[in-house]
Each structure stands twice: as structure tokens, then as C-alpha cells.
Amino acid sequence: MSKAFEQLDKMPRVRLGHAPTPLEAMVNLGRRYGGRTLYVKRDDCTGLAFGGNKVRQLEFYFGEAVSKGADTMLITGAVQSNFVRLTAAACAVLGMECHIQLEDRVPGTDATYNASGNVILDKLLGARLYSYADGEDEEGADRRLHEIAGQLSAQGRNPYVIHLAPGHKPLGALGYLAAARELLDQISRDGLTIDEIVVASGSGNTHAGLLFGLRALGSLVPVIGVCVRRGAEGQFRRIKDRLQQIADMLSVDPVTEDDDVVLNDTFLPPSYGRLNEPTIAAIKAAARLEGLILDPVYTGKTMAGFLQRAEDAEHGRSLLFIHTGGQPALFGYEKELSAALD
């Protein structure tokens, strides 16, 4: 076992999800794309409150929080954030208070976006909601969380803040080191060959954690990050920083090179959380050919990038799509999706 994984297994962790998640062939999509061999890692099936990739990440945030005696969790995210929804669910399981700050990150939204999908789930799960007007001010959003945490401390609570901005330990990335080990075990068990992996690249925890974990275990499979929040140049810096932070957390040497960080921002426009035609086409194709439900913000855009890679890949190469979940956000886009599906 590598030193990184020896250290990983010593980190505080609270088990919250179902694992291993399924690794499945996408036969119908493969046929559409010239007989390519396509797979999906079903991290939408992690179990907790509709599941998704954030379940793996939260196991390490809650591990540290519980180790510090926290009884209250605070987190900030977009109105339709899957991360905040799953934080609320984990709090419900663990008997903790949950305080969620929702940022006005997506322009031009309607009442459905602001009240349905993940928002109604946040409320159902018992979280207290706050608003933050500037969706592009990560440091300011974190500062506001600390102000709320200070008020809760004064009331006798012991709060723990899950930060948004860079500069804090990306504990969530550790969940995807563990996922890399799980994935390689499945590939070995089933005798599969995977030539390329495609994953959403937003906060960077999933992308960087998966990449670091694979390289620490000796796998050189390329990992393509599809940009869903910022352009490739800014995201490259973020992933590099995340990779160094992971090495620092685990007290190991870096295991990646700059060339390992591969990004595609073709499907990001017009901006975070806003639909485009290739994303709608990818959502429809996944649903109608594989029964896979994707969301407009992360997995829809990532599938658009994945299908582009499938179209361009040489025959005989096999590609893996990481399904990071997020389906409840679909309901916030009812107007746009209904128009596209008529």
C-alpha cells in the first residue's frame, strides 16, 4: 500500500454512503458512437438523500467535525447545490444542526429554480437557510458563514464550517482517493480495460482527489476534467493547488505532473448553472438510451464532454464516465427543460 493510502486510512471518517457504487457498461450509447466501449461509475448511487459525489466528500468533513465535538454544521453553495443538500442529510443522520447559506450564483433564474429541487429538500431535511447575494465571492461567503458560526457559538453551540474558498484543507478530496482505490479494485476484479476517465471539475475536490488517488496507486489512466464553474486556465490553477494540498494533508510527496491535469471548458458557456444545446442533447441521450438521469449543472455538461471524447476516440479505446449525481437540480430547470423536450 502506498504511503498516501496508509495516511488516508488514519484520517477521521464517518461512513455515510453506500459503497462500492456500481460500475456499468453503457451499451446503447456505445452503439450510437460507433461501437465504442463506454462505462459509467454510478456515484449517483451513494445512497444518502438522492446520493451523489458529495457523500464521499462529506465522510471526511464530518469525520473531522465529529472528532472536534461539533454539534452544528455550516456550509455555503449555490441555490441548487447538491453539497448543501447532502450536508443537511448527513446532519439529520448524525443528530446535528445544519445551517445552509444559498448564494445567488446563477443569473436569470425564476421562482421554480429558487424554491424547488434541492431547496425543498434542504427544508425537508430540517436545515436553516440563509441567503448571500454575491455568487462569485467565495471568500465573502465564507466570512459570512463564520459570522453566523460566531452567533451560534455565543448561543452555546459548537459549530464546524465547511469552507468554499481555496486556502482551506480540501478534506472532501480524500473521499475520491478512496473512490480511486475502489474503482481500480472493480476494474481488476472484472478484468476491464479503461483508457480514459471523464469527470466534472468544479470545486476541484472530486477531480483532484480521483487523479491523486489513481497516480498514488500507480495508475496512469488519463483523467479529463470537464469545467462546470470556471474556464480551463483558472481551473488548472485550482486543481494544481488542490493536488498540492492533498499531498500536504497526507504528508507525502506530490504524485502528479502538470501534464496530468487535463481540462475541457468547451461546454461551460454561457456560464455556471446555465444550459446550452450540447448539454440538453447529452441529458436526453443519457436518459433515452441508458435510463440515466443527469443534471444541467454538472453531469449534463460532463456527459457532453464525455460524448465528444467518445466521438473522437480511436476504435478499441474504452472510456469511463463518473456520474456524480445531482438529479434533484433538474426540477429547478423545469421551464427550460420542458421547452427543450417538447
Same domain membership, residue 30 and residue 58: no
Q: What is the mean pLDDT of residues 307-321?
A: 91
Q: In terms of domains, do 247 and 325 share one?
A: yes
- What is the structure's pLDDT at 1? 60
Q: Rounded to the nearest 5°, which phi and psi values hold at 145?
A: -60, -40
Question: How many Å apart are CA 50 and CA 54, to the nearest integer?
Answer: 11
Per-residue model confidence as pLDDT tens digits over 266-307: 999 999 999 999 999 999 999 999 999 999 999 999 999 999
User: What is the model's pLDDT at position 316?
Assistant: 79
On whether both 59 and 187 belong to a single domain, the answer is no
Longest dimension (CA), the chain: 63
Q: Residue with C-alpha cell 452555546?
A: 156
Domain shared by 152 and 177, yes or no: no
Statement to judge: residues 17 and 139 lie in one domain: no
Residues 176 and 199 in one domain: yes
Using the predicted structure, report yes or no on whether residue 327 has a pLDDT greater than 70: yes
Query: Does residue 203 sit in the same domain as residue 325?
Result: yes
Where is pLDDT greater, at 165 or 183? 183
In the DSSP assignment, the letter for residue 253 is: -
Please report, for residues 127, 275, 294, 308, the alpha-carbon distance to residue 282 in angstroms, rounded to integers and kept in the order given.
Answer: 33, 11, 9, 10
CATH of the domain at 271: 3.40.50.1100
The CA distance from 313 to 318, in Å, is 9
Q: Would you give the end-to-end CA distance of the chain in angstroms?
A: 53
Residue ending a domain, choose from 144, 162, 180:
162
DSSP type of residue 56:
H
Domain boundary among 119, 135, 162: 162
81 catalytic? Reply is yes
Domain that holds residue 92: 54-162
Which three three-digit cell numbers place residue 2?
502506498
> Which of 117, 133, 162 finishes a domain?
162
**Across all residues in the chain, what is the average pLDDT?**
96
Does residue 101 share a domain with residue 243? no
Based on the structure, what is the number of domains in the chain?
2
Q: Are residues 85 and 116 in the same domain?
A: yes
Distance CA 242, CA 237 (A): 9
| 110/211 same-domain check | no
Predicted TM-score (pTM) of the model is 0.96
Is 237 found in the same domain as 179?
yes
Q: Write down the catalytic residue from 2, 81, 153, 251.
A: 81
The answer to whether 51 touches 118, Cβ cutoff 8 Å, is no
Average pLDDT over residues 69-98: 98
The verdict on 113 and 15 lying in the same domain is no
CB atoms within 10 A of CB 151: 12
